[in-house]
């Protein structure tokens, strides 16, 4: 087997962990044909360097028992602050625990944020009482998620079933 380059190994380890972060070091080592200690070192480095910032389950909340969560995708238009640009505003917005994700965007608005709450009312209140009044925010547009079809590369609403039939080969 040709030895994988270090960058390639990092890429492969990240791919495996992203798909399934519960995979054991041993199994990853077998799959990639590199020593277990090396896999461990790579993961250590990725954690230290802030490439891996956490491990968690990918959850289809729509199906979680008795779990009430609504998700909204909110577009924010802002006026950047002198010398601080957008970062200062982002830092203030991401402090709210309701905000699950925030990205600076190109195009017709500035930030795209994902907000979760127990119901539509709670999210709406959050927007009107906390976000909209912030002085640098000049406009918001809130879109509620109605149904999740695919999330983080995984299709949510289709059970994966082996459709292959019996055949002589």
Partner 1 sequence: MSIDIQGLINPVVRDIPPSGIRKFFDIAAEMDDAISLGVGEPDFVTPWHIRDEGIYSLEKGMTYYTSNSGLKELRFELSKYMKRRFSLDYDPLTQLLITVGGSEAIDLCIRSVICNGDEVLIPEPSFVCYSPITRLAGGVPVPIVTKAENNFKLTAEELKAAITPKTRVLVLPFPNNPTGAIMNEEDLWEIAEVLRGTNIIVLSDEIYAELTYGDKKHFSIAQIPDMYERTVLVSGFSKAYAMTGWRLGYACGHPDLIKAMTKVHQFAIMSAPTTAQYAAIEALRNGDDDIEMMKNEYDMRRRVIVQGFNDMGLECFEPKGAFYAFPSIKSTGLTSNDFCERCLREKKVAVIPGTAFGQSGEGFIRCSYAYSIDSINEALSRIEAFVKTLK
Which chain residues interact with partner 1 by CB under 8 A?
1-2, 27, 30-33, 162, 164, 166-169
Closest separation in Å from C-beta 139 to partner 1: 37
Cβ nearer to partner 1, comparing 2 with 133: 2
**For residues 131 and 93, is the Cβ–Cβ distance under 8 A?**
yes
Question: 114-124: buried (b, 16+ CB within 10 Å) or exposed (e) per residue?
Answer: ebbbeeeeebe
What letter does residue 159 receive in the DSSP assignment? -
Q: CA distances (Å), 14 to each of 18, 21, 22, 133, in order?
A: 6, 9, 12, 40
Quickly list DSSP for 65-116: TT---EEEEEEEEE-PBTTTBTHHHHHHHHTSTTEEEEEE-SSS-SEEEEEE
Query: Which contiguous run of DSSP H or E holds residue 157?
Result: none
Greatest extent of the chain over all pairs of C-alpha atoms, in Å: 71
Closest separation in Å from C-beta 47 to partner 1: 23
Closest separation in Å from C-beta 33 to partner 1: 6
Cβ nearer to partner 1, comparing 18 with 84: 18
Closest separation in Å from C-beta 163 to partner 1: 9
Cβ nearer to partner 1, comparing 65 with 149: 149
Cβ nearer to partner 1, comparing 146 with 167: 167
Cβ nearer to partner 1, comparing 30 with 81: 30
Closest separation in Å from C-beta 36 to partner 1: 12
């Amino acid at each position: 087997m040709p030895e994988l380059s270090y960058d390639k190994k990092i890429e492969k380890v990240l791919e495996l962990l992203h798909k399934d972060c519960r995979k054991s070091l041993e199994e990853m080592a077998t799959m990639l044909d590199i020593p277990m200690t090396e896999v461990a070192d790579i993961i250590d480095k990725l954690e230290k360097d802030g490439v891996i910032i956490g491990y968690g389950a990918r959850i289809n909340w729509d199906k979680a028992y008795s779990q009430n969560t609504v998700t909204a995708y909110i577009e924010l238009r802002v006026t950047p602050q002198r010398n601080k640009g957008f970062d200062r505003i982002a830092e203030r917005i991401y402090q709210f625990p309701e905000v699950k994700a925030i990205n600076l965007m190109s195009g017709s608005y500035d930030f795209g944020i994902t907000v979760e709450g127990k119901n539509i009312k709670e999210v709406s209140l959050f927007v009107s009482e906390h976000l909209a009044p912030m002085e640098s925010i000049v406009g918001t547009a809130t879109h509620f998620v109605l149904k999740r079809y695919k999330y983080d590369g995984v299709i949510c609403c289709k059970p994966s079933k082996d459709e292959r039939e019996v055949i002589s080969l």
